A = this chain, B = another copy of it.
């Protein structure tokens, strides 16, 4: 799909200016106005922007998390490498709780043909694993959040409380030695905590960018993590601080 690139352009333009006109976007992308309108329709459906006559305004507040569909594409290579590394840390036969988020989705894809018990906390991962014959898939209950399809709420908490895992693979929005592992969404954070509480070992996955960020909801201190897998662009400064907190850090 050549349109993906254009959708990105439109999203960026609308987000940075707050709003943009159809003609303007057509000139920017080189596509016809009709195509732009169709794109805007798609993006509006994803909740990324809001249409008005003649253009669209951004619904993405600065500082807010960009939508899932966008994040899946970003740094895909790094995510794949991280996922492969995580897969290497998990032994056959283990039971694993797999957090929501795009990085964890890549982990799901890598685990598809392994002999494991996996409990994914996002429907995206559930779908990725639904066809796997070897793997024992267990779905926790919960309310899927729009777009993200992350399961949260009392049903999720109850499901996790009823289970015990060898390993938790946890994604995050921010992770620093000082502020610990943080998330944007409070409900998500509660689920992550429940997953960690039911697990013997915790592996956090975080692209380099996240090691310099702190999000709203505190999940757990860095010292509670057993391992962090990040990508090679992470600075030693950050990773050394995590290592000092007693975490095994892997850059890939």
Residues of A within 8 A of B (CB): 123, 126-127, 130, 133, 136-144, 146, 149, 151, 153-155, 158-159, 162
Contacts and interface: CB of A to CB of B under 8 A. Distances in A.
A155 B141 contact: yes
A137 B144 CA distance: 7
A2 to B, nearest CB: 24
B123 A144 contact: no
B143 A136 contact: yes
A32 to B, nearest CB: 27
Contact of A140 (B146, B155, B162): B155
Nearest to A156: B141
- Across the A-B interface, the 7 shortest Cβ-Cβ residue pairs: A141-B141, A141-B159, A140-B141, A138-B143, A155-B159, A139-B142, A139-B141
Nearest to A136: B143
Given A155-B159, A158-B158, A130 B123 contact: yes
B133 A139 contact: no
A143 to B, nearest CB: 5
A144 B133 CA distance: 11
Contacts of A155: 138-141, 159, 162
A137 B126 CA distance: 16
Nearest to A129: B144
A248 to B, nearest CB: 32
Contacts of A158: 141, 158-159, 162
29 contacts: A123-B126, A123-B127, A123-B139, A126-B144, A127-B127, A130-B149, A133-B146, A137-B143, A137-B144, A138-B141, A138-B142, A138-B143, A138-B153, A138-B155, A139-B139, A139-B141, A139-B142, A139-B143, A139-B144, A139-B155, A140-B141, A140-B155, A141-B141, A141-B155, A141-B159, A154-B162, A155-B159, A158-B158, A158-B162
